[in-house]
Chain A
Amino acid sequence: MLRIYSIHPRFLSVAKPPANGYNGPYTLIAGQEKKVFQTVNVDQLAEVLRRNQDFMENVVRWEELPAQEARYAPFPEELDIRLKDILKTRGIHSLYTHQAHAVQEILRGKDVVVVTPTASGKTMCYNLPILSSILRNPDSRALYLFPTKALSADQVHELYDLIQMTGEDIKTFTYDGDTPGSARKAVRQAGHIVVTNPDMLHSGILPHHTKWVKLFENLKYIVIDEIHTYRGVFGSNLANVLRRLIRLCDFYGSKPQFILCSATIANPKELAETLTGRDITLIDDNGAPMGKRHFVFYNPPVVNQQLGIRKSSMGEVRHISGMLLKNGIQAITFAKSRLVVEVLTRYLKDMVRDPLGNAGRVRGYRGGYLPTTRHEIERGLREGRVDAVISTNALELGIDIGALDACVLCGYPGTIASSWQQAGRAGRRKASSIVFFVASSAALDQYIVSHPDYFLQKSPENALLNPDNIYILLSHFKCAAYELPFEDGDSFGNAPSPDQLLEYLEDVHILRHVDGRYHWMADDFPASNISLRSASAEENFAIIDITDSAHHRVIGEMDRFTVPMLLHENAIYMHEGEQYQVEKLDFDACKAFIRRVDVGYYTDADLNISLSLLDIEEQVDEPPLLSRALGEIKVTALVTMFKKIRFDTHENLGFGHVRLPETDMHTVAMWWKLPEDLCSRFSSDTLKNGMLGVANLLRIVCPLYLMCAATDVVVVYQVKSPITDAPTIIIYDNYPGGVGLSQKAYAMQKLLLEKCLSIVEGCHCAQGCPSCVGPVGEIGVDGKDTAIKLLRDMIRRC
């Protein structure tokens, strides 16, 4: 008979916490606790859950994704015989089909993109051909790019192991902000494989290329992993960094090949080709085996039938993750905010504390933990010492934590691609795995959970970017001119009309055109003016624990934008499930001083975002034409108060005030002021729902036509806008200073509105869904209809 332990009152039966301090897997038969030493496997758990009425009442859909058999192929002939022998001595006699295919294409000189799910032996796809090539010609060099420092550290580790097996002196170095000055020279001279990130390549390597002569002269491979992260502005920046890199390779006479890797997205080949400007061979015949996967859509039960209020998703996740933990099923739980991660970590830790209060089997994981802490957690997961980890999307990227048995998604991550990435963390090669999607009460979550087919059948999102965005292109063009003078007729990758850019830069005295060449003549360092990512490179805050007055210690760090939310004075800051109270926040010195406390509540701050007009650059205000404008605005984020929330019951215990400077961002926006005679046709509620519907449509349409990531632009609507004093829909660039997206939206306004209309008119939903105006729960029953009316009228007036 199967014995499953549950602590969820509704799942199996009521259980008391173990009295004897033993925290291992328990069994529960007729209310009696008994220690067991066998853990339950996923199929057994699934079996029991399926027979459990209370649990299944909330399960909307239970999908089983069938197991996939491994498909193998022999070592490609092109692979160096020494490497084959080494692999054979390690018991590896063949490769998965996608690996063999990739190795073959790469060694034949093709540029490739490899698309495979997590844990399918992706790194072998590039490490094998590159090592093979270095073994044959020890002068060969390769450059590896990973989106984050954490990832590079992780991958270098794996590479070391493989190199060690060859017994050859192949040098691999990481070159990033953490590389000590004394080691940098050796990296530049001797590294066969240099591992870095786009930011370092952009500001640390390319502008100083003469120090890297050996690398550039012999560069044979450029590996770019996780290319699905390079979308929108970040991707457009990277594409231009690559144009600069290739231009320098031309100068030094090398012709490197590209090897790209991507998680599952809709358009990997297109993304790879836009990033590199080359024809790319797609390799996606994944041959790695995968066990059966259960995908459970879970909607928390309704607690108030009249108001339709459901139980909190956090509470339900607490029970589900707790059940997995108690049954010894290694699981990862993804939550959408750092705060929820910390609260859940605490709940789960409380479940398994030993008599001394330690609960190392349960760990939180998020940005802001120190790198050593993070590595320790990753290692713990791989080695099976950590049974439960609760993480933000920080663990969504390919950091190696091994394969886990189960994954719990606390709320919909926002995109289909991300959901699959996170769910992919659970999945053994042979055994079954299980994923729970627990919907929150947000309209989008409710839509997904009530339309599982929408999620299961829709392809993941496209990753879009625009390397020719004029702002981004110009910035990198300057860097390129700094790195190497342009000559008349030179091109810059496949960028359009470089000669016009050159002329412009000559006019503003940044370049000097003489004797057929354009020379850099400004006294500055252009790479320092560009940050590749949206998050500004400003200094992080250090979080200092002063509980022991003799030993202050830094326990983490936090970016400037999040500090007002989580580290204001008197906030309860949670770190790895422990509580601290913020005693002092020194905004100028970028330090927060915190002290250990143990209180029964946590705090949650309210963030107010307001927009104000700085300057109008261009506008059309001639009725009956639709009024639109383009200008500079200030986006102000201000935290004014926080709530104290009791653990377990989540009741509100009171408020506190926050006195902190506001955070400003100056950026560029475009907006439509809705005509009065149009608005007066609707009640104010109806109008609001309709505007929200239009804004939601624009959020879908803008990334497609502005070719950016969803987070690069912000669409807001204001029924009475401080900018126009009337109902207004606003689109702004989510980057300080703007990156030209609003300008583009301003120029193609009619097209954007028409696309919105065609999407909503072509959508088969009755009253709204996330693919058009948004779920009905968010926009109300009249939202879809009103949005259509608004759009038709706006287009007529364009």
Chain B
Amino acid sequence: MNLAEKLRMITSKPKPAPEAAPSFTDCWQRTRVRPLDEFPELSSLNSKNLMLMQHEDLPSPFLPGKVLFLDTETTGLSGGAGTVAFEIGAGVLTKDGFAVTQYVMRDYPEERYMLEKVLERLDECDVICTFNGKSFDIPLLRTRFILNRLPTDVLDKPHLDLLHMARRLYKLRLKQCRLSRLEEEVLGIPRVGDLPGSEAPARFHQYLLTHDFALLDDVLFHNEQDVASMLALLSHMCADYESPERIGHQEDIFSMAGALDREKHVRQSRRCYRLVPSGRLHAVSQMRLADSHRKSGEKEKARDIYLDMIIRHEGGAEPYIALAKYYEHTEHDLEKALEFTRKGLLTLAEPTLLDPPSVQETRNQLQYRYDRLQGRLTRKGQ
């Protein structure tokens, strides 16, 4: 980034109003509305798609405008009773746009006013959406509510934690799922000139000593960005679940298929397995797809997939083993079972001392199966 760009970026940041001295009778707050066209995938944000990606019960009817997007900035990261949220960003969809209201306590006595306002917002909403809120923001708010003797039941509303949802889809590809990384790799919007979240506590402490509100500009900018990204990410994931065909990374499709499979969305999961393009994950997807058919009793469909895999020279010994089982237990055709076992053994090269234990294991199992089947055939022959 050259200097001119840097300057442009700095000056383009919103400037807060200068009336920010603590009043002790209310907290500071500001609402900014982002136009809806910043969120092109909003139309996919519906309960049908949400139910595919998480297991929390959602209210019916589900209204996107009743989701409260929350993110807090805190005086420390330790998560004990002494950690305070000094800023809370709360976003909600309106017909005019995505309205993010930020509440700041300018000193400790204002905490109560800030919490009361957030409590009101929580009261109005049906669903809470956070990024890592299940283990951080919500327990923290619960602690603050208890210490200020406010009711905590509003925090028990249905909760969409984007971190957990994103991990299910992107962990295989991205390894770690920090929000800024998801913005860059999933939404394609790299964040620039951002204040790392870990520096927020220090900024607040500096602010307390100087009452120079400008010190909090970066924190507010960062927080507003986080809240907006949550909505963008949520609708993006909804859109992906709605039309997995558009997903560009095989790891993501494969992960989605697995996630759907675990949640017993059989049809959608098969659809995704089929979409995994040929490559590193194709064989294992095919095996999983066949498994899925087998479990629901469609054994012939599973068989055809295995046969197809053999034609494509995919999956090593795995499809042979599966077919051997199929012919032995379903068709009761011992000869065919023996034949596939033999071929399976052939896919494994001559044993060497360097074979990893998993290969040795597979070979031993196949060999055992082969001997057993042959024994049965001989006895039958007699």
Give chain B residues whose Cβ lies under 8 Å from the Cβ of A720. Answer: none
Do A525 and B147 touch (CB < 8 A)? no
Do B77 and A514 touch (CB < 8 A)? no
Alpha-carbon gap, A527 to B81, bound state (A): 11
Give chain B residues whose Cβ lies under 8 Å from the Cβ of A520. Answer: 75, 82, 84
Task: Choose among B79, B107, B205 the residue that contacts A523 (Cβ–Cβ < 8 A).
Answer: B205
Do B75 and A521 touch (CB < 8 A)? yes
Do B75 and A515 touch (CB < 8 A)? no
Give chain B residues whose Cβ lies under 8 Å from the Cβ of A210. Answer: 81, 142-143, 146-147
Alpha-carbon gap, A526 to B202, bound state (A): 17
Q: Does B59 contact A (CB under 8 A)?
A: no
Give chain B residues whose Cβ lies under 8 Å from the Cβ of A523. Answer: 75-77, 201-202, 205
Q: Does A211 contact B (CB under 8 A)?
A: yes
Give chain A residues whose Cβ lies under 8 Å from the Cβ of B139. Answer: 211
CB<8 Å pairs between A and B, sample of 5 = A210-B143, A514-B109, A515-B107, A522-B205, A523-B76
Q: Does A169 contact B (CB under 8 A)?
A: no
Q: Which positions 96-136 of chain A face chain B at CB distance < 8 Å?
A: none
Interface string of B52-83 (1 = CB under 8 A from A): 00000000000000000000000111111110
Alpha-carbon gap, A527 to B79, bound state (A): 12
Listed residue (B24, B81, B146) with the most chain A CB atoms within 10 angstroms of its CB: B81
Alpha-carbon gap, A154 to B109, bound state (A): 47
Q: Does A302 contact B (CB under 8 A)?
A: no
Q: Does A517 contact B (CB under 8 A)?
A: yes
Give chain A residues whose Cβ lies under 8 Å from the Cβ of B202. Answer: 523
In the assembled complex, the CB of B30 is this many whole angstroms from the nearest CB of chain A, namely: 23
Q: Which positions 480-528 of chain A face chain B at CB distance < 8 Å?
A: 481-485, 509, 512, 514-515, 517, 519-527
Q: Does A657 contact B (CB under 8 A)?
A: no
Q: Does B208 contact A (CB under 8 A)?
A: yes
Give chain B residues whose Cβ lies under 8 Å from the Cβ of A514. Answer: 107-109
Do A515 and B24 touch (CB < 8 A)? yes
Q: Which residue of A lies closest to B205 (CB)?
A: A521
Q: Does A411 contact B (CB under 8 A)?
A: no
Q: Which residue of B lies closest to A528 (CB)?
A: B78
Q: Does A584 contact B (CB under 8 A)?
A: no
Do B78 and A515 touch (CB < 8 A)? no
Give chain B residues whose Cβ lies under 8 Å from the Cβ of A521. Answer: 75, 205, 208
Q: Which residue of A lies closest to B22 (CB)?
A: A514
Alpha-carbon gap, A209 to B81, bound state (A): 7
In the assembled complex, the CB of A135 is this many whole angstroms from the nearest CB of chain B, namely: 29
Alpha-carbon gap, A359 to B109, bound state (A): 69
Q: Does A71 contact B (CB under 8 A)?
A: no
Q: Which positions 89-118 of chain B face chain A at CB distance < 8 Å?
A: 107-109
Besides A482-B81, A521-B75, 7 other A-B contacts (C-beta < 8 A): A207-B82, A213-B146, A483-B81, A512-B208, A519-B84, A523-B75, A523-B77
Give chain A residues whose Cβ lies under 8 Å from the Cβ of B311. Answer: none
Interface string of B192-217 (1 = CB under 8 A from A): 00000000011001001100000000
Give chain A residues whose Cβ lies under 8 Å from the Cβ of B143. Answer: 210-211
Do B82 and A482 touch (CB < 8 A)? yes
Q: Does A430 contact B (CB under 8 A)?
A: no
Alpha-carbon gap, A718 to B60, bound state (A): 82
Q: Does A208 contact B (CB under 8 A)?
A: yes
Give chain B residues whose Cβ lies under 8 Å from the Cβ of A524. Answer: 76, 78
Q: Given known contacts A523-B77, A523-B201, is B108 in contact with A517 (CB within 8 Å)?
A: yes
Give chain A residues whose Cβ lies under 8 Å from the Cβ of B208. Answer: 512, 521
Listed residue (B80, B108, B143) with the most chain A CB atoms within 10 angstroms of its CB: B80
Q: Which residue of B lies closest to A478 (CB)?
A: B82
Do A519 and B108 touch (CB < 8 A)? yes
Q: Which residue of B lies closest to A516 (CB)?
A: B109
Alpha-carbon gap, A525 to B78, bound state (A): 6
Give chain B residues whose Cβ lies under 8 Å from the Cβ of A213. Answer: 146
Chain B interface (Cβ within 8 Å of chain A)?
Answer: 24, 75-82, 84, 107-109, 139, 142-143, 146-147, 201-202, 205, 208-209
Q: Is the interface of A mostly helix, strand, loop or mixed?
A: mixed
Do B108 and A483 touch (CB < 8 A)? no
In the assembled complex, the CB of B6 is this many whole angstroms from the nearest CB of chain A, namely: 28
Alpha-carbon gap, A484 to B108, bound state (A): 13
In the assembled complex, the CB of B80 is this many whole angstroms from the nearest CB of chain A, namely: 4
The 6 closest A-B pairs by CB, nearest first: A482-B82, A525-B78, A207-B80, A210-B143, A520-B82, A519-B108
Q: Which residue of B lies closest to A210 (CB)?
A: B143
Do A515 and B146 touch (CB < 8 A)? no
Do A509 and B209 touch (CB < 8 A)? yes
Give chain A residues whose Cβ lies under 8 Å from the Cβ of B82. Answer: 207, 481-483, 520, 525-526
Do B81 and A207 touch (CB < 8 A)? yes
Do A208 and B81 touch (CB < 8 A)? yes
Do B80 and A208 touch (CB < 8 A)? yes
In the assembled complex, the CB of A23 is this many whole angstroms from the nearest CB of chain B, namely: 45
Give chain B residues whose Cβ lies under 8 Å from the Cβ of A519. Answer: 84, 108
Q: Which positions 209-267 of chain A face chain B at CB distance < 8 Å?
A: 209-211, 213
Alpha-carbon gap, A209 to B201, bound state (A): 22
Interface string of A169-211 (1 = CB under 8 A from B): 0000000000000000000000000000000000000011111
In the assembled complex, the CB of B119 is this many whole angstroms from the nearest CB of chain A, namely: 16
Give chain A residues whose Cβ lies under 8 Å from the Cβ of B142. Answer: 210
Task: Choose among A484, A512, A527 the residue that contacts B147 (Cβ–Cβ < 8 A).
Answer: A484
Do B81 and A525 touch (CB < 8 A)? no
Alpha-carbon gap, A213 to B80, bound state (A): 14
Alpha-carbon gap, A483 to B143, bound state (A): 10
Q: Which positions 520-553 of chain A face chain B at CB distance < 8 Å?
A: 520-527
Q: Which residue of A lies closest to B140 (CB)?
A: A210
Q: Which residue of B lies closest to A517 (CB)?
A: B108
In the assembled complex, the CB of B198 is this many whole angstroms from the nearest CB of chain A, namely: 10
Give chain A residues whose Cβ lies under 8 Å from the Cβ of B78. Answer: 524-525
Give chain A residues whose Cβ lies under 8 Å from the Cβ of B205. Answer: 509, 521-523
Alpha-carbon gap, A211 to B152, bound state (A): 12
Give chain A residues whose Cβ lies under 8 Å from the Cβ of B77. Answer: 523
Q: Given known contacts A521-B208, A523-B76, A523-B202, is B109 in contact with A515 (CB within 8 Å)?
A: yes
Give chain B residues whose Cβ lies under 8 Å from the Cβ of A522. Answer: 76, 205
Alpha-carbon gap, A780 to B229, bound state (A): 82
Give chain A residues whose Cβ lies under 8 Å from the Cβ of B146. Answer: 210, 213
Give chain B residues whose Cβ lies under 8 Å from the Cβ of A484. Answer: 81, 147
In the assembled complex, the CB of B338 is this many whole angstroms from the nearest CB of chain A, namely: 35
Listed residue (B82, B107, B139, B205) with the most chain A CB atoms within 10 angstroms of its CB: B82
Listed residue (A512, A521, A523) with the most chain B CB atoms within 10 angstroms of its CB: A523
Give chain A residues whose Cβ lies under 8 Å from the Cβ of B147. Answer: 210, 484
Alpha-carbon gap, A521 to B146, bound state (A): 19
Alpha-carbon gap, A660 to B18, bound state (A): 62
Give chain B residues whose Cβ lies under 8 Å from the Cβ of A526. Answer: 82
Q: Which residue of A lies closest to B202 (CB)?
A: A523
Q: Which residue of B lies closest to A526 (CB)?
A: B82
In the assembled complex, the CB of A774 is this many whole angstroms from the nearest CB of chain B, namely: 48
Alpha-carbon gap, A441 to B202, bound state (A): 62
In the assembled complex, the CB of B95 is this many whole angstroms from the nearest CB of chain A, namely: 38
In the assembled complex, the CB of A247 is this many whole angstroms from the nearest CB of chain B, namely: 12
Give chain B residues whose Cβ lies under 8 Å from the Cβ of A482. Answer: 80-82
In the assembled complex, the CB of A207 is this many whole angstroms from the nearest CB of chain B, namely: 4
Alpha-carbon gap, A179 to B75, bound state (A): 29
In the assembled complex, the CB of B139 is this many whole angstroms from the nearest CB of chain A, namely: 7
Do B76 and A525 touch (CB < 8 A)? yes
Q: Which residue of A lies closest to B145 (CB)?
A: A210
In the assembled complex, the CB of A206 is this many whole angstroms from the nearest CB of chain B, namely: 8
Q: Which residue of A lies closest to B107 (CB)?
A: A514
In the assembled complex, the CB of B299 is this many whole angstroms from the nearest CB of chain A, namely: 38
Do B209 and A525 touch (CB < 8 A)? no
Give chain B residues whose Cβ lies under 8 Å from the Cβ of A512. Answer: 107-108, 208
Listed residue (B78, B79, B139, B201) with the most chain A CB atoms within 10 angstroms of its CB: B78
Alpha-carbon gap, A54 to B197, bound state (A): 80
Do B108 and A515 touch (CB < 8 A)? yes
Alpha-carbon gap, A210 to B146, bound state (A): 7
Alpha-carbon gap, A739 to B17, bound state (A): 50
Give chain A residues whose Cβ lies under 8 Å from the Cβ of B24. Answer: 515
In the assembled complex, the CB of A249 is this many whole angstroms from the nearest CB of chain B, namely: 14
Alpha-carbon gap, A300 to B35, bound state (A): 94
